[in-house]
Amino acid sequence: MLYLNTSDIEKVGKNWKETIDVIEHAVHSLHKEDYAQPIKPYLRYHDMANRIIAMPAFVGGDTYMAGIKWIASFPKNLQEGIQRAHSITILNEARTGKPVSTINTALVSGIRTASVSGLLLKHYEQVRPLQNVTVGIIGFGPIGRLHLQMVTAMLGEKIAKVVLYDIAGIQQEHIPAEIKEKTVIAQTWEEAYCEADVFITCTVSPHGFIDKQPKRHSLLLNVSLRDFTPKILDYTRSIIVDDWTEVCRENTDIEIMHLERGLQKEDTKSITDIVCLDQMKEFPQDEPIMFNPMGMAIFDIAIAAYYYKQALSQGIGTHLQD
């Protein structure tokens, strides 16, 4: 078994084009029903804000790997100077079930999250080409930082300005050097939101607070899932989810829209609709487009398998014996 930790993943590095391609291939496996993915259970005890989530899956196609991600999210850890999320992923050879790798780091999970966002950004830009882009990000913890790295790599010189906001302040040493001169530190979330062409939520907010109109034609990547109020439906009905059954629960913005405004599955498009059936272009041109990803286990297994194979080929990691 190959054991990989954070430093091993950092040695492999981040190639956003490749990791986004990995997610795209996994979406095609999803579309072809060449996958298995039970609804993920949430383990809660004592403080109900905390959860540990089990995410098992099999992905076919080029990935052809099974496994499970076991991820703990404890928001109050941040107050104690401890990272919020801790994650371990186990990969099993699909044909035999033999465990082949243990990946003990939340970094690979974060790369998955940003790569899924990158895939939606890629397909958005195919329909609505971007120039002189203002990127707004609220929440600049590990997920926010990875998203900034991803959009910087994807959009490059197309970015005119990046506006960052975090209620706890911005650690500027985490801003990539190549984008630093274009980066503005906001004092309110509205500054990062109202003029953004691409807006990304990466907070740990327990409930929605964004109630203002977004910029027309913008892409809203609602990564943290609990930042918008149902009022967003006054401004757009162009809603994408990764999986309705997964996302319409656990007090997400989608569940609140469902309960308070009657949003139904048929009112949304899925990630397979966008990637495999080219339905991004069916949205009204003047409306913002909002993506709400609960996080799918097939994507975690696909990205973990990618890093496992890269580490094997590069001689990175620690081999464990029976």
pLDDT tens per residue, range 264-282 = 999 999 999 999 999 999 9
Q: What is the pLDDT of residue 79?
A: 86
pLDDT at 322 over 90: no
Nearest partner of 299 among 17, 9, 28, judged by Cα = 28
pLDDT digits (tens, 9 = 90+) for 39-72: 999 999 999 989 999 999 999 999 999 999 999 9
Q: What is the pLDDT of residue 250?
A: 94
pLDDT digits (tens, 9 = 90+) for 12-47: 999 999 999 999 999 999 999 999 999 999 999 999
Domains of the chain by range and CATH?
Answer: 2-109+297-319 (3.30.1780.10), 127-292 (3.40.50.720)
Instruction: Please state whether the predicted TM-score (pTM) of the whole model is above 0.95.
Output: yes
